[in-house]
Structures are given as structure tokens and as C-alpha cells.
Structure 1
Amino acid sequence: MIADRRVLDRVAFGPDGLIAAIAQQHDTGEVLMLAWMNADALAETLATGQACYFSRSRNRLWRKGESSGQTQRVVSVRLDCDQDAVLLLVDQTGVACHTGRRSCFYLEAGPDGLAEIAAPLVAPDQLYR
């Protein structure tokens, strides 16, 4: 893909060194997930063409699919107008959500609160054996 410092130098990382990254299925437009990237994660993603994020809970790089096999091949990397958010157009293998759903956005707000609008496709214990 791209391993160019000129791209990284344009990114407006937050005071914590992170930037929000949205993963979207490249051919359907389905929004799959939101995660965080630091400079190392974005650089690796640009260089390898495989999605790499920064796990805030583990305080380390998280290569999508490293433990579940549910990978994201990056088709395109885009920045918003302020360069403070990343949009990854990806080709998702399997499910994107750790709950076993295709998308992390499976809760919909309605008059009765939140409703699940998508069932798990894979049991989480099957993803992370």
C-alpha cells in the first residue's frame, strides 16, 4: 500500500496520540466498526494493507484478526476534512464485531430504548478459543 511519512504528518492525532478510525465495507458501504489508531497503527496499516489498530484496553497494537481470524484487507484509507478521523474502506473476512456480529452497530435507538437489530453470526467463544 502506502508507507509515506507525508501522509502521517498530515494526521491530527488527539492529545492522547490517537485518532478515531471507522471501518466500512468497501463494496456495500456497511459501517462495520469504530476503533482507534496511533501513528504506529496507521503506519502499519498503510504499509501492509491490513487493518491495525491501537487497543486502549491492552495499551498495544491490535492487528485485526490476530486472534479471531476475522481480518480486514484495506482497499482505501481516507481522512476527513480536518484530518482528525480515518475512514478505512475494507474487505472484511468474517465478522467485524467481537460479539460475533457482522457489524458492531447492532443496537438501534427507538421509543422503547435500545433494540438488537442483528443477531450474532458466530458465537464469541468460537472466535476466541
Structure 2
Amino acid sequence: MGFDPLTLKYDVNGLIPAIAQDEDSGEVLMMAWMNANAVLRTLQSGRVTYWSRSRQAFWVKGETSGHVQELVDFRVDCDRDCLLLRVRQTGPACHTNRRSCFYTALRDGGEVEILTPETG
């Protein structure tokens, strides 16, 4: 029995949130959106493909930057309205050149950047 991405619960725009998590460290790297076709492309290619809301186009992670996400494990949450993608990340995941997009922490009532951009 094959997986049918249409059994997932998408929002009114046909999108579902997808959280990318590093397979080795367990670190949460980023959240982006997928539609049913992005889910299919990801499962078929093993390269994570998102849907860019700003460009209204498919976005294969790392296609231009080289910071690819190789799919290791694809998980669906209990409500079928959110995805967890366990990935093997090459280079930084965030467009700010940080390992994770979650680099701002609240500490003592203020915001603190806890990750610096990678160089080189």
C-alpha cells in the first residue's frame, strides 16, 4: 500500500508546515511549507523540496546554495497537519548562513542571537 500525500491535511492555500530536523544531532534546522506536489517530489527524489510562498514556485533546498537536505526519514504528526523531515544537512540550513533558522533566543526578557553565521 503506497502513501498518498492527498491524505494529509493542508491549509486553505494547499500547504502544510514541514519541520526539518538534523538526523544526527536532533537539532531543529528550519520550518518551511510544502504542497502535495512538493511532498511527492521529496519522496521520489530524496532531496527535500518545499513550496516558496513568496516566489510561488518549488524550492529544492540547496539547489542554488549547495546547502542540500537529503531526506532520511519522513514523519507525519497525529493530526496529519504537520510534517517532520529528518534530514542529512550539507552546510547551513538557514538563508542567513546559520546552521539553524532558530538562532534567536529569549534570555532575561531580551533577544539574544545564539548562533553566528558560518564562514567559508
Alpha-carbon deviation of 1:5? 5.9
From 84, 90, 96, the counterpart of 2:81: 84
- Aligned Cα root-mean-square deviation (Å): 1.4
Q: Percent same amino acid at aligned positions?
A: 50
TM-score when scaled to structure 1?
Answer: 0.88
Equivalent position of 1:53 in the other structure: 50
| Residues 1-129 of structure 1 aligned to structure 2 (within 5 Å) | 6-122=3-119
Q: Which runs of at least 4 in structure 1 moved beyond 2 Å after TM superposition?
A: 4-7
Q: What SS does structure 1 have at the residue aligned with 2:7?
A: coil
CA contact (8 A) 1:101 1:122 kept: no
The answer for unaligned runs of 5 or more in structure 1 is 124-129
The answer for unaligned runs of 5 or more in structure 2 is none
Post-superposition Cα deviations, 1:68-89, rounded to whole Å, max 9, x if no partner, equal 0000000000000000000000
Post-superposition Cα deviations, 1:6-49, rounded to whole Å, max 9, x if no partner, equal 33132111111000000000111010000000111111001111
Distance 1:122 1:64 in 2: 19
Q: More deviation in 114-123 or 73-82?
A: 114-123
Distance 2:2 2:54 in 1: 27
TM-score when scaled to structure 2?
Answer: 0.95
CA contact (8 A) 1:107 1:115 kept: yes
Q: What SS does structure 2 have at the residue aligned with 1:58?
A: coil
CA contact (8 A) 2:34 2:50 kept: yes
